[in-house]
């Protein structure tokens, strides 16, 4: 006889022909890392995407766009309104623009498995193939609309407006991530604009008179204005981090920055934080993601993750997040993102109807004006 305690009991069922991806995940991903991935999928649907008013951010540090993930997995999420803003490393965006310009990429035959945090491994550019793409980027950056200081989100939006016509001209079948972000009004931030090939190209052009420069402070305030606008109308905010690095630090630190501008009572922080990274970089717990003082904590090296959700609900820290919020739904998953991201994208597309696009990119001036007003009011409220 059983003990009568059914909580957490596994009830596996056989796989069947004709199952959807979401049924496959829910039925077969039962143990260890597979269960963590299924838990993350469920949290994305229930806690992040179910309410169409929730403002959803994505950070991408894992180098997966060289392997085509921008076109195959992320662009559909932007087109469907599942991602409202994103922080993406410049190296990823460089590869994405090369795809848009028709640069050929090749799979390496019998390549050794890449590290899990570098899921673009096994994809190569042949020598000289990127030269035409860089020449096209030089032409774009030489345009009069690029000859001033701007935030990286504004720069990527302008690049996207130029790329779609070039994609069509060179016969690219599907729009790149940068082009899709422009068409969907999704701001793309690069928190470290000079540590990659795209930043190097801009630096070389500056030496010959190009006046394009990226202002990281403009990006930080622009992204904080997005959260501030959402909180002002009573909407929740959530963030989904793929990999660890500058992009996730940027995304996770936004509530802290906003609280410094408008006060903690006006900056409740993220409703849900879901972090995913390669197995070779163990994740600390979400609450350890930022040590006191606002600096990223050192990895603990344990690789442990919170327990999966049960029928009673998802895991929750019950503590404060970076912006001083109340209880936040947290999950950290260690997985191979080259496998996880396509599965999660298919799951989302199957389980959640398209969300109305928020087109935050076109509302930058409006949201920044509100942030300036709220910041001025916060300064008046502070004791002398």
Give the pLDDT confidence of 23-82 residue by residue, as tens digits: 999 889 988 888 889 999 999 999 899 999 999 999 999 988 888 899 999 999 999 999
Query: CA torsion 172→177→181→187, rounded to 10°?
Result: -150
Decide if pLDDT at 123 tops 80. Answer: no
Decide if pLDDT at 332 tops 70. Answer: yes
24 in a structural domain: no
Which of 48-57, 60-69, 216-225, 348-357 is the least confident region? 60-69
Tokens representing residue 149 in the block: 């200081």
11 in a structural domain: no
Domain of residue 264 covers: 43-381
Decide if pLDDT at 16 tops 60. Answer: yes
CATH number of the domain at 308, please.
3.40.910.10
17 in a structural domain: no
Decide if pLDDT at 231 tops 70. Answer: yes
Question: Do strands 106-107 and 213-214 pair parallel, antiparallel, or not at all (unpaired)?
Answer: unpaired
Say how far apart CA 180 and CA 184 lie, in whole Å.
6
The per-residue pLDDT for 338 is: 87
Instruction: Calculate the average pLDDT of the chain.
Output: 82
Nearest to 105 by CA among 145, 138, 142, 133: 133
The per-residue pLDDT for 133 is: 82
Which of 131-135, 226-230, 352-356 is the least confident region? 131-135
Confidence bin at 126 (pLDDT 50/70/90): low
Number of domains within the chain: 1
The per-residue pLDDT for 300 is: 32
261 in a structural domain: yes
The per-residue pLDDT for 125 is: 57
The per-residue pLDDT for 55 is: 97
The per-residue pLDDT for 303 is: 33
Top mean pLDDT of 49-53, 67-71, 126-130, 167-171 is at 49-53
Tokens representing residue 319 in the block: 């503590």
360 in a structural domain: yes
Residue 135: CB atoms within 10 A of its CB come to: 10
Mean pLDDT, range 137-164, rounded to an integer: 94
360: three-class secondary structure by DSSP: helix
25 in a structural domain: no
174 in a structural domain: yes
The per-residue pLDDT for 173 is: 84
Decide if pLDDT at 266 tops 80. Answer: yes
225 in a structural domain: yes
In the block, residue with structure tokens 């269960």: 35
The per-residue pLDDT for 77 is: 97
Note the helical H segments in the chain. 21-28, 32-43, 69, 75-79, 90-100, 130-141, 152-170, 177-184, 197-206, 216-232, 246-262, 337-351, 364-381
Top mean pLDDT of 64-73, 118-127, 175-184 is at 175-184
Whole-number percent of the chain with pLDDT over 70: 79
Whole-number percent of the chain with pLDDT over 90: 54
Nearest to 239 by CA among 267, 273, 269, 268: 273
The per-residue pLDDT for 78 is: 98
């Amino acid at each position: 006889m059983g003990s009568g305690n059914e909580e957490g009991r596994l009830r596996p069922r056989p796989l069947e022909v004709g199952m959807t991806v979401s049924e496959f995940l829910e039925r077969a991903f039962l143990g260890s890392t597979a269960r963590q991935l299924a838990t993350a999928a469920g949290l994305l649907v229930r806690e992040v995407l179910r309410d169409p008013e929730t403002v959803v951010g994505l950070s991408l540090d894992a180098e997966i766009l060289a392997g085509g993930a921008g076109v195959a997995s992320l662009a559909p999420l932007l087109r469907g309104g599942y991602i409202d803003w994103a922080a993406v490393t410049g190296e990823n965006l460089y590869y994405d623009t090369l795809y848009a310009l028709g640069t050929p990429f090749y799979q390496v035959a019998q390549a050794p498995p890449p590290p899990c945090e570098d899921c673009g491994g096994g994809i190569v550019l042949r020598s000289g193939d990127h030269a035409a793409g860089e020449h096209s980027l030089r032409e774009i950056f030489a345009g009069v609309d690029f000859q001033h200081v701007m935030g990286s989100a504004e720069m990527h939006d302008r690049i996207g407006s130029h790329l779609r016509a070039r994609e069509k001209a060179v016969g690219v079948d599907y729009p790149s991530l940068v082009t899709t972000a422009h068409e969907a009004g999704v701001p793309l931030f690069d928190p470290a604009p000079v540590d990659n090939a795209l930043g190097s190209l801009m630096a070389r052009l500056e030496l010959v008179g190009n006046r394009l420069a990226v202002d990281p402070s403009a990006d930080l305030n622009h992204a904080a204005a997005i959260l501030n606008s959402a909180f002002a109308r009573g909407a929740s905010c959530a963030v989904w981090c793929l990999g660890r690095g500058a992009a996730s630090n940027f995304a996770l630190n936004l509530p802290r920055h906003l609280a410094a501008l408008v006060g903690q009572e006006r900056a409740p922080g993220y409703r849900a934080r879901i972090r995913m990274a390669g197995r070779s970089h163990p994740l600390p717990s979400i609450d350890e993601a930022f040590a006191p003082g606002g600096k990223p904590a050192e990895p603990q090296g344990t690789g442990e993750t919170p327990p999966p959700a049960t029928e009673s609900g998802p895991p929750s820290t019950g503590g404060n997040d970076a912006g001083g919020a109340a209880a936040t739904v947290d999950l950290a998953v260690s997985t191979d993102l080259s496998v996880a991201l396509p599965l999660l994208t298919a799951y989302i597309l199957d389980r959640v109807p398209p969300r109305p696009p928020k087109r935050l990119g076109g509302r930058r001036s409006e949201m920044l004006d509100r942030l300036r007003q709220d910041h001025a009011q916060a300064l008046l409220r502070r004791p002398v």
